[in-house]
Structure 1
């Protein structure tokens, strides 16, 4: 985990560092009550300028493959 010197104090990089720090603290203090994970919604939402996904990202690649195959993964539960 970064210490604040690895990013500037504005924008995406800093917001990601802040969220990572919060989740790390929750994972330590509430480990018996919950599991902690994070998901980058930007991968799901696509670009704000044109709506297109980067096809090399995990979620868009999964969606594209599932559409071509006509099948979706059968998730029995998700663990991060």
Structure 2
């Protein structure tokens, strides 16, 4: 589950162990099974209508475009 509220991105989920393979042997397993949650404070306001998430090859990629009001604007200087 992925949600954006204000300036906070929250990711929660659960990793399940793959079916046990009698031939598989592990020296070390870096990621354990079970529930997880990550909360990230975002540096700018996000356009929540354009947020995208995809998972490929076990990697979760979340694209969070800045809201228009959070982007810098050029202001022309007029001479008097």
TM interval, short-chain normalised: under 0.3
Q: Which has the higher contact order (CA 8 A, sep 6+)?
A: 2
Which one has a bigger Cα radius of gyration? 2
Larger helix fraction of residues: 1
Larger strand fraction of residues: 2
Calculate the TM-score normalised by the size of structure 2.
0.20
